[in-house]
Structure 1
Amino acid sequence: MGYGFFRLRRAVGCFRQNYESKHPYASFKDLAHIQALISKSARILQAQYYKKSEIEAALELVRGIEELIIAGSFLVAEHERKIIGCGGWAFDVSYPRKAEIRGFFVHPDFVRRGVAALLLNTCENICLRRGIETLYLTATLSGEPFYKKHGFLNLRDSIGICQMDRLLN
């Protein structure tokens, strides 16, 4: 299973060889590209699970990317200097050993090529180094199989979304 030749921002080499992510963090200059990626990803990849009106309403609720960028907890993956994936985490102020996985989106042309897996793995490793023991998230129906594959368990299902968590080792 090859990952292709995309990389985290300023990573050295490609994922298949010499993967070393030192500075994959998003910046404010990326924000317009990130927002375009989120819109395209949601509208295309969620179309088989949700009505168009539900997708548009959900897009209105995607917030907090700016705060994640400020906190240094939002990552981007690139291919040929274009952002093809993004995602990050937010520390839970109520529970210091927990973090929420947030804002994971992949360009439709790069689905099932390891982009989200690499972003998630990088988030997990950073969180582990910072003392986080549990990650949690709210998954859409289109994202649920991905997160289950990566060890997240359903806590509860709501209308069209799934609350999930995973203990880090």
Structure 2
Amino acid sequence: MAETFRHRIANDADIPALREVMRLAIEQLQHQFLSPVQVAASHKVMGLDSQLVRDGTYFVVEAGGRIAGCGGWSFRATLFGGDDSIVAREPARLDPLRDAAKIRAMYTDPAFVRRGVGALILDLCEAAARQAGFARVELMGTAAGVPLYRSCGYSPLGPLDQVAVGEVLVPLQRMIKSLV
């Protein structure tokens, strides 16, 4: 029997639970791709940008009363990074005729991996960005996320990026997809 997922737009009351899903995802899903020091450093690069919640562009996917995953899209220039990250954020609005919308802060609770949660969130984000007039979307993928993004039609945009957290380098891959 197929699992039933419901989705909705996140609200401020969700933020503590979303941060916990993100913590679990970073700590339990990145270790297959990164060293323990890189996983620890990832917390300073990744996370929730609460601007997405305020903008109404952040989705929550639920199953059985639990958050199975979350992720959003943005009409702002910031490509990645959360409220507590070392990454500078740029709140400027994008031009849908010229710029690519940003897919942001995609996380799946480790208890729900490989069940279609990530693909569902991508579909929701892409549809919303398309409806807002964007013809392309881009994202900064973690090592754990890149296989999903590739399978959903995203292509690398340039070489692998390395974000420095002190002496530790965290690998990330900028990726793009056409929505037309």
Q: Report the TM range for the smaller structure's normalisation.
A: 0.7 to 0.9
Match of 2:156 in 1: 154
Question: CA shift at 1:65, angstroms?
Answer: 2.4
Q: Tell me, what secondary structure is at the counterpart of 1:131?
A: coil
Distance across 2 between alignment mates of 1:140 and 1:111:
15
May I ask how many residue pairs the two structures share in their alignment?
Answer: 153
Q: Is contact 1:3-1:113 (8 Å) kept?
A: no
1:131 aligned residue (110, 130, 133): 133
5+ long unaligned stretches in structure 2: 78-92, 163-170
Greater relative contact order (Cα 8 A, min sep 6): structure 1 or 2?
2
Q: Which amino acid aligns with 1:138?
A: M
Asked if 1:142 is matched to 2:144, the reply is yes
Q: Tell me, what secondary structure is at the counterpart of 1:151?
A: coil
Distance across 1 between alignment mates of 2:143 and 2:72:
19
Asked if 1:65 is matched to 2:49, the reply is yes
Question: CA shift at 1:138, angstroms?
Answer: 0.6
Distance across 2 between alignment mates of 1:34 and 1:65:
11
> Percent same amino acid among aligned pairs?
29
Question: CA shift at 1:94, angstroms?
Answer: 4.5
Structure number with higher helix proportion: 1
Question: CA shift at 1:64, angstroms?
Answer: 5.0
Q: 1:149 to 1:3 in 2, by over 3 A?
A: farther
Provide, for residues 91-116 of structure 1, a one-character-per-residue CA deviation record: whole Å limited to 9, x for no partner.
14344342110000001111110111
4+ residue runs over 4 A deviation: none
Match of 1:6 in 2: 5
Match of 1:30 in 2: 14
Q: Tell me, what secondary structure is at the counterpart of 2:44?
A: helix
Question: CA shift at 1:3, angstroms?
Answer: 4.9
- Normalised by the length of structure 2, the TM-score is 0.80
Asked if 1:88 is matched to 2:89, the reply is no
Q: Is contact 1:136-1:164 (8 Å) kept?
A: yes
RMSD in angstroms over aligned alpha carbons? 1.5
Q: Is contact 2:52-2:72 (8 Å) kept?
A: yes
Question: CA shift at 1:5, angstroms?
Answer: 2.0
Provide, for residues 82-137 of structure 1, a one-character-per-residue CA deviation record: whole Å limited to 9, x for no partner.
11100001114344342110000001111110111111101111111110111001
Q: Tell me, what secondary structure is at the counterpart of 1:61?
A: coil
Q: Is contact 1:3-1:114 (8 Å) kept?
A: no
Asked if 1:75 is matched to 2:59, the reply is yes
- Normalised by the length of structure 1, the TM-score is 0.85
Q: Is contact 1:65-1:74 (8 Å) kept?
A: no
5+ long unaligned stretches in structure 1: 9-23
Match of 2:120 in 1: 118
